Amino acid sequence: MADFVKIYEENPNPKEIEQAVKCLKSGGLIIYPTDTVYGLGCDITNTRALERIAKIKGVKLEKANFSFVCHDLSNLSDFVKQIDTPTFKILKRALPGPYTFILPGNNSLPNVFKRKKTVGIRVPDNEIALSLVRSLGNPIVSTSIHDEDELIEYTTDPELILEKWDHLVDMVIDGGYGDNVPSTIIDLTNDPEVIREGKGSLDIL
């Protein structure tokens, strides 16, 4: 049975954030709100938890395209090769916001991602997500949770999410109704290339 924790975005309660961080640190999987759809996440440093997410998604871990959720641009250099000024300006304009940016990975990536040439970086404009990452002290590896329903691609109601994911994850954070439009994905490894147009406007390019 997953814990179901209500956290208010306007002013996340540190006690509840700490409870979620404790869950992450012990290798737990959490479902949490972002500025787009709800995400399934774990601690980037916990290989066992990463393997659990890959299994749920039905992908091989080393080939999985998960996002790294950071709390600001300062920890990008931990995982990303040095970025040029035009790229940095785009990131600065867009983040925090509903974007996933694909950037060239560096040699400090966790072992399981060592073979990946690129990483997807997210800094969501959502205080719950940012507080979690800040308190954890390193990024959360994250992936969107999809719905089997053909009409609704993403589940937005936390109680329905709990019903469906109860036996697969350790905690569901209720941060209110989620959005059903995913992030805009932009590849910045060369000239900016839009991979998926989502919630984030393309005016930043």
Task: Give 133: exposed, middle or buried? Use CB within 10 Å, 0-12, 13-18, 19+.
Answer: buried
Residue 108 lies in a domain: yes
- The number of distinct structural domains making up the chain is 1
The 10s digit of each residue's pLDDT in 106-129 is 988 888 888 889 999 999 999 999
Confidence of residue 150 (pLDDT cuts 50, 70, 90): low
Residue 83 lies in a domain: yes
Provide the domain limits for residue 178.
3-200
- Dist. CA 15–CA 144, nearest whole Å: 25
Residue 145 lies in a domain: yes
Share of the chain above pLDDT 70, in %: 98
Rg of the chain (C-alpha set): 16
Residue 74 lies in a domain: yes
Q: Which residues of 160-199 are buried (b: 16+ CB within 10 A; e: fewer)?
A: ebbebbeeebbbbbbbeebbeebbbbbbbeeeeeeeeebb
Q: What pLDDT does residue 114 have?
A: 85
pTM recorded for the entire structure: 0.95
Residue 205 lies in a domain: no
- Dist. CA 150–CA 154, nearest whole Å: 10
Among 7-21, 49-63, 145-159, which is the least confidently predicted range?
145-159
CB 148 within 8 A of CB 165: no
- Dist. CA 171–CA 129, nearest whole Å: 14
The 10s digit of each residue's pLDDT in 69-119 is 999 998 788 899 999 999 999 999 999 999 999 999 998 888 888 888 999
Give the CATH number of the domain where residue 57 resides.
3.90.870.10
Residue 127 lies in a domain: yes
